């Protein structure tokens, strides 16, 4: 068959048309049908989400002294898909990363796109490393911005500030409770990069800037904190107690001005501290308060009209049989008024006031003073203490609780309980966060003082306060708490230590003193507590061990706060002559 | 025949040629401009990226130095330096203090103390 020219032309055209149709089909397939798939594939290969890290907020004391800041560091990451010569890269980078060449090479020998090589590398080292890598024309190492939290004062205030975990989340102290304010919100940016991994800025995609964390201002005064830390450290070294707690608070506002514990730890290196050292014992440890608790029964009995300023209570000459047990005072006393019961710290007098009130009313006052409930301070892990309701009390509880047994309280509760007497009868909520501020210093959230309730009228509080002045005066149990130039009010506590095996541990005592000054217009209330100080048993009293520490702290604090003396300043008499009249109250 | 062919010579349409040349030149110039602008954009973007990196580095260095200054001037470090004798503090003398509150007697050493009980400390 012979094809005509027209036929041949037609076949040629059809062939060409077929080829072009095939191309067109493929184009439609690539550009339209598989568009989504290939776009995604390209995006996966070249686009990445870059996290814009938010800067964590700073923490200041009440006067603006920096307590927690951020130190910029770098995280060195490797992209295995870009590494052509792992050995050369390892040889170059190992000295900068403080790693062995072999170890680094093993890490780099991978096809993974995100291998964390080293966290927390100092800024200068990271910059020098990246420059060296660039100069050597090697690829595959990326330096990412990061930061570590630093606490310039080291151990000082460690329990209050807390620390962060490996992910930068606060897990203790203010760092934990104020996490939401401090952490801020990370931003993001979609970027495209070239085959060497460098960002192609022209194709920068959607972006949301980071919102930096807010700054937190504490109620802590670092001047007072330094005084408290120094004195408690001395006591911890000299008396070697198992633990020591010190708190200074403003009784009128509830602001915590200083708070410290021993043993302690450095929040810059939390991993080096033992669990025991990291406990903020001011809020998570409970102790029997001992005689410091007598202010509760005295205030309650006076307010309920069970006793008055002139009521005389017979103190059984030092031995009171009740509930099949003998309750003793260290010295035998006859009839005494409420004032003297507090000054002499009579157990029997306190027990009798408890009996006059009855379990229900006494329990009500214990609760009104804030015991058995969390204070609500902005610190994590606070416990409410141990306080059983009256229906679970045995027959002896009503005589033991007024003198600080059969109840367990936190040192902070004890401090706030004493603040009730100091401020004229109001229970104020303790607070450690003063305000939350933005980077310009504008207050975002102010925390005003909070009065929880009126516990007793001002008249009753003043009467008890006068009696507590007598505790520090001649014939009182805490003469060593005196501060020349000021009227000091306070109460000692000497409680037998509860044994983990039940009952009381022989020869082990928790001694404390909680007081305030000036008594006429208290500026601060201070608690000092020592658990099992290693001193002779006949010297292990609140009045002998804790009171002198209080005196030194109070004296320095008065100077620091520039308090005007209310009394003629006289040097205190020697310590030795004062020990004779001290007494253990349980 | 030759005479006819000479008469039938196709004239060059100059205006049409110029129009197409202009269109081609415009298209070429547009393409070149596009390339030039695009390259310039890339160059500027790269400059911005480098600048951003420099600013970030300077900011990081600044923050590092601030953190070090804070650490070195922190209360605990200063107290340690005082204890080591690197720096010393002199007590403020009574006669250089102007007070708005009632005056307090200075002790024999001339140092003003609003409270003192060194007797206990020893």
Please give the pLDDT value at position A575: 46
Local confidence band at A138 (pLDDT 50, 70, 90 cut-offs): confident
Q: Say if CB A500 and CB A462 are below 8 A apart.
A: no
Please give the pLDDT value at position B120: 41
Contact A485 B116 (CB under 8 A): yes
* pLDDT (tens digit per residue) in A522-542: 999 999 999 988 888 778 888
Substitution target in A60, A62, A66 with the highest count of B β-carbons within 10 Å is A66
Domain of B56 in residue numbering reads as 11-90
Mean pLDDT, chain A, rounded, equals: 88
Name the closest residue on chain B to residue A222, using Cα atoms.
B75
CA distance to A203, B35, B36, B42, B44, per residue, from B39 (Å): 13, 6, 5, 5, 9
* Strand pairing report for A59-60 and A215-218: parallel
B122 half-sphere exposure, CB direction, 13 A CA radius? 8
**What value does the mean pLDDT take over residues B51-64?**
88
Provide the CA B109 distance to its chain's centre, in angstroms.
53
Q: Which of A328, A354, A350 is nearest to A339 (CA)?
A: A350
Is residue B45 one of the residues assigned to a domain?
Answer: yes
Contact A559 B117 (CB under 8 A): no
Name the closest residue on chain B to residue A191, using Cα atoms.
B49
How far is the C-alpha of A111 from the C-alpha of A378, rounded, in Å? 48
> ipTM of this model?
0.71
Q: Say if CB A409 and CB A385 are below 8 A apart.
A: yes
Please give the pLDDT value at position B101: 56
Of A334 and B98, the one with more pLDDT: A334
Is residue B52 one of the residues assigned to a domain?
Answer: yes
Q: Which of A281, A245, A286, A280 is nearest to A409 (CA)?
A: A286
Is residue B26 one of the residues assigned to a domain?
Answer: yes
* pLDDT (tens digit per residue) in A184-237: 999 999 888 877 777 888 888 889 999 999 999 999 999 999 999 999 999 999
Local confidence band at A111 (pLDDT 50, 70, 90 cut-offs): confident
Statement: residue A61 has pLDDT above 70: yes
CA distance to A110, A163, A429, A449, B26, per residue, from A181 (Å): 40, 15, 21, 20, 60
Window A:468-487, CB contacts with B under 8 Å: 480, 482-486
How far is the C-alpha of A13 from the C-alpha of A18, rounded, in Å? 8
B-chain residues near A572 (CB < 8 A): 117, 119-120
The ranges assigned to domains in chain A are 50-216, 222-581
Contact A572 B120 (CB under 8 A): yes
CATH (one of 3.40.710.10, 3.40.50.970, 3.20.20.70, 3.90.45.10) for A222-581: 3.40.710.10
Is residue B120 one of the residues assigned to a domain?
Answer: no
How far is the C-alpha of A510 from the C-alpha of A521, rounded, in Å? 29
Our count of domains for chain B comes to: 1
How far is the C-alpha of B57 from the C-alpha of B71, rounded, in Å? 21
Statement: residue B111 has pLDDT above 80: no
Distance from CA of A572 to the nearest CA of B (A): 6
Cis peptide bond N-terminal to B51, omega within 30 = no
Is residue B49 one of the residues assigned to a domain?
Answer: yes
Please give the pLDDT value at position A580: 35
Distance from CA of B44 to the nearest CA of A (A): 9
**What value does the mean pLDDT take over residues B62-78?**
87
For B39-46, the CB contacts below 8 A with 24+ separation are B41/A202, B42/A200, B42/A202, B45/A200, B45/A201, B45/A202, B46/A201
A-chain residues near B99 (CB < 8 A): none
Q: What is the pTM of this model?
A: 0.81
* pLDDT (tens digit per residue) in A389-421: 999 998 889 999 999 988 999 999 999 999 999
Is residue B114 one of the residues assigned to a domain?
Answer: no
Lowest mean pLDDT among A34-48, A129-143, A515-529, B86-100: B86-100
A-chain residues near B70 (CB < 8 A): 66, 69, 150, 152
For A18-21, the CB contacts below 8 A with 24+ separation are none
Statement: residue A141 has pLDDT above 80: yes
* Strand pairing report for A141-150 and A207-208: unpaired
Residue A184 DSSP code: -
Provide the CA A106 distance to its chain's centre, in angstroms.
42
- E runs forming strands in A398-457: 426-428, 433-437, 443-446, 451-454
Number of other residues whose CB lies within 10 A of the CB of residue A46: 14
CA distance to A15, A148, A310, A366, B2, per residue, from A72 (Å): 68, 7, 67, 50, 93
How far is the C-alpha of A250 from the C-alpha of A258, rounded, in Å? 10
Substitution target in B58, B77, B115 with the highest count of A β-carbons within 10 Å is B115
Substitution target in A565, A566, A575, A579 with the highest count of B β-carbons within 10 Å is A565
Please report which helix (H) or strand (E) contains residue A422, including its range: helix A411-422
* pLDDT (tens digit per residue) in A284-342: 989 898 888 999 999 999 999 999 888 888 888 888 888 888 888 888 888 899 999 99
Number of other residues whose CB lies within 10 A of the CB of residue A567: 14
B-chain residues near A230 (CB < 8 A): 79
Window A:134-173, CB contacts with B under 8 Å: 145, 150, 152-156
* pLDDT (tens digit per residue) in B3-16: 565 566 677 788 88
Contact A226 B64 (CB under 8 A): no
Please give the pLDDT value at position B2: 55
Angle separating helix axes A411-422 and A458-472, nearest 10 degrees: 110
Contact A565 B114 (CB under 8 A): yes
Name residue, tokens 């594939």. A41
Is residue B76 one of the residues assigned to a domain?
Answer: yes
A-chain residues near B58 (CB < 8 A): none
Is residue B111 one of the residues assigned to a domain?
Answer: no
CA distance to A251, A327, A388, A422, per residue, from A392 (Å): 33, 21, 6, 32
CA distance to A69, A108, A152, A500, B65, per residue, from B68 (Å): 10, 33, 9, 46, 5
Substitution target in A145, A547, A555 with the highest count of B β-carbons within 10 Å is A555
- Write the residue in B45, B66, B74 that is nearest to A153 by C-beta: B74
Provide the CA B65 distance to its chain's centre, in angstroms.
15
Please give the pLDDT value at position A423: 93
Please give the pLDDT value at position B115: 57
How far is the C-alpha of B24 from the C-alpha of A57, rounded, in Å? 61
Contact A569 B113 (CB under 8 A): yes
* Strand pairing report for A66-78 and A215-218: unpaired
In CATH terms, the superfamily for domain A50-216 is Penicillin-binding protein 2a (Domain 2) (3.90.1310.10)
CA distance to A79, A117, A218, A264, A377, per residue, from A173 (Å): 38, 31, 12, 13, 11
Name residue, tokens 């814009």. A52
Window A:482-511, CB contacts with B under 8 Å: 482-486
How far is the C-alpha of A248 from the C-alpha of A235, rounded, in Å? 16
Contact A222 B119 (CB under 8 A): no
Provide the CA A422 distance to its chain's centre, in angstroms.
25
| Tokens found for residue A109 | 């020998």
Contact A569 B46 (CB under 8 A): no
Percentage of residues of chain A with pLDDT beyond 70:
97
Q: Say if CB A92 and CB A138 are below 8 A apart.
A: yes
Phi, psi for B106 (deg, rounded to 5): -85, 155
Q: Which residue intervals of A29-169 are DSSP H helices?
A: 35-46, 86-97, 101-108, 123-135, 158-161
Residue A30 DSSP code: I
Local confidence band at B53 (pLDDT 50, 70, 90 cut-offs): confident
Residue A190 DSSP code: E
């Amino acid at each position: 068959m012979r094809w005509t020219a027209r036929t041949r032309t037609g076949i040629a055209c059809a062939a060409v048309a077929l080829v072009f149709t095939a191309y067109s089909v493929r184009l439609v397939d690539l550009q339209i049908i598989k568009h989504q798939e290939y776009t995604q594939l390209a995006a996966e290969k070249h686009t990445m989400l870059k996290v814009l890290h938010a800067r964590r907020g700073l923490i200041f004391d009440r006067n603006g002294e920096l307590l927690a800041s951020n130190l910029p560091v770098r995280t060195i990451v490797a992209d295995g898909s870009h590494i052509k010569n792992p050995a050369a890269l390892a040889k170059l980078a190992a000295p900068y990363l403080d790693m062995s060449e072999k170890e680094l090479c093993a890490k780099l020998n991978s096809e993974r796109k995100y291998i964390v090589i080293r966290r927390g590398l100092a800024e200068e080292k990271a910059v020098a490393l990246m420059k060296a890598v660039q100069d050597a024309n090697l690829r595959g190492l990326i330096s990412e911005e990061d930061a570590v939290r630093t606490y310039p004062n080291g151990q000082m205030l460690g329990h209050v500030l807390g620390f962060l975990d490996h992910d930068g989340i606060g897990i203790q102290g203010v760092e934990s409770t104020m996490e939401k304010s401090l952490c801020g919100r990370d931003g993001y940016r979609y970027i495209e990069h070239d085959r060497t991994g460098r960002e192609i800025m022209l194709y920068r995609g959607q972006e949301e800037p980071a919102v930096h964390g807010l700054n937190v201002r504490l109620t802590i005064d670092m001047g007072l904190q330094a005084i408290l830390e120094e004195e408690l450290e001395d006591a911890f070294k000299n008396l070697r107690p198992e633990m020591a707690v010190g708190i200074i608070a403003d009784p009128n506002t509830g602001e915590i001005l200083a708070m410290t514990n021993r043993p302690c730890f450095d929040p810059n290196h939390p991993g080096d501290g033992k669990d025991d050292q990291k406990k903020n014992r001011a809020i998570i440890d409970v102790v029997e308060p001992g005689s410091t608790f007598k202010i509760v029964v005295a205030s309650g009995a006076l307010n309920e009209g069970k006793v008055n300023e002139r009521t005389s209570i017979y103190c059984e000459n030092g031995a009171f049989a009740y509930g099949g047990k003998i309750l003793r005072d260290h010295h035998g006393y006859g009839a005494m008024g409420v004032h003297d019961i507090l000054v002499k710290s009579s157990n029997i007098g306190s027990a009798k006031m408890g009996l006059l009130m009855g379990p229900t009313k006494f329990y009500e006052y214990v609760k009104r003073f804030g015991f058995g409930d969390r204070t609500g301070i902005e610190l994590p892990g606070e416990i409410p203490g141990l306080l059983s309701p009256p229906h679970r009390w045995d027959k002896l509880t009503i005589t033991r609780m007024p003198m600080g047994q059969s109840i367990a309280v936190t040192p902070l509760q004890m401090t706030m309980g004493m603040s009730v007497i100091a401020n004229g009868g109001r229970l104020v909520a303790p607070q450690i966060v003063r305000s939350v501020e933005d980077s310009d210093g504008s207050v975002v959230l102010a925390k005003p003082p909070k009065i929880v309730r009126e516990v007793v009228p001002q008249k009753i509080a003043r009467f008890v306060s006068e009696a507590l002045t007598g505790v520090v005066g001649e014939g009182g149990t805490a003469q060593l708490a005196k501060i020349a130039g000021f009227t000091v009010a306070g109460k000692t506590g000497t409680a037998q230590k509860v044994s983990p095996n039940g009952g009381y541990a022989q020869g082990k005592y928790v001694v404390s003193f909680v007081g305030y000054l000036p008594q006429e217009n208290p500026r601060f209330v201070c608690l000092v507590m020592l658990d099992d100080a290693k001193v002779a048993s006949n010297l292990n009293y609140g009045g002998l061990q804790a009171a002198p520490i209080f005196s030194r702290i109070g004296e320095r604090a008065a100077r620091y706060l520039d308090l005007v003396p209310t009394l003629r300043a006289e040097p205190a008499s020697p310590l030795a002559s004062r020990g004779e009249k001290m007494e253990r109250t349980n | 025949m030759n005479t006819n062919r000479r008469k039938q010579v196709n004239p060059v349409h100059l205006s049409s040629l110029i129009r197409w040349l202009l269109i081609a030149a415009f298209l070429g110039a547009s393409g070149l401009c596009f390339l030039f602008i695009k390259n310039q954009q890339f160059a500027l973007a790269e400059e911005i990226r480098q600048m951003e990196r420099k600013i970030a580095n300077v900011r990081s260095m600044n923050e590092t130095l601030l953190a070090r200054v804070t650490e070195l001037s922190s209360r605990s470090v200063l107290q340690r330096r005082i204890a080591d004798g690197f720096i010393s503090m002199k007590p403020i003398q009574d006669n250089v203090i102007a007070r708005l509150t009632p005056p307090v007697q200075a002790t024999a050493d001339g140092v003003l103390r609003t409270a003192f009980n060194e007797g206990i400390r020893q």
